[in-house]
Structure 1
């Protein structure tokens, strides 16, 4: 999965499931990226989330390093088929 799990104390796996708002149907052919930034860290870590099969469905995932005790902002961009612009969702994770 994603080239194998990285080794280290601060490696985390981001998983995103994408659904159509109007129907609730799972979207299995989107392009999904995540940009992770921490308040106490300079720069951002952007990664393409790869499609992966879980229980007969498709989700998107990737590994990210979250060093130190910090609050991280995770910005997820989702480009669905036939969509002119990405949907954007922001999460906060307190590590």
Structure 2
């Protein structure tokens, strides 16, 4: 179920939806988006703060999906799973993506479960993937 850990980004498709994701240090996002405004502030869990950004597309039409609900839960080895968080819609280059800040320990890989709820479906579409910290190269 889990992907091989990726260092920065990947693409998945499931049930007619294409998901692109990226994991970046929150400081990178802070240059263009106010973390306080988007996510209610830096996570209180501590650790390294990273931003998970997700872009969704309809596989059949290629149209960007900008009207859905996205929730994510992150897991780390040896740490109890965090509660799921909603990914807030955010504009990047005038295109809607979804993002959320997570406080994570530097021991990785991190495991993400992303659940997408489309308006026309009753069930969530679940994506699961693993990621290395973007600052892993610094270690």
**Per the shorter chain, which TM-score range?**
0.7 to 0.9
Cα 1:56/1:74, change in 2 over 3 Å? same
Unmatched segments (≥5 aa) in structure 2 = 1-33, 134-139
Q: TM-score, normalised by structure 1?
A: 0.87
SS in 1 for 2:88: strand
Equivalenced residue count is: 95
How much does 1:5 deviate?
A: 5.7
Unmatched segments (≥5 aa) in structure 1 = none
How much does 1:94 deviate?
A: 2.5
**Between Structure 1 and Structure 2, which shows a larger proportion of helix residues?**
2
**Between Structure 1 and Structure 2, which shows a larger proportion of strand residues?**
1
How much does 1:21 deviate?
A: 1.2
Cα 1:67/1:15, change in 2 over 3 Å? same
Indicate the residue corresponding to 1:12 in structure 2: 50
The runs of 4+ residues in structure 1 deviating greater than 6 Å are none
Cα 1:72/1:21, change in 2 over 3 Å? same
Q: TM-score, normalised by structure 2?
A: 0.62
Residue 42 (1) aligns with residue 80 (2):
yes
Indicate the residue corresponding to 2:119 in structure 1: 81
Provide the alpha-carbon RMSD of the alignment: 1.9
How far apart, in 2, do the equivalents of 1:61 and 1:34 lie? 10
How far apart, in 2, do the equivalents of 1:93 and 1:59 lie? 19
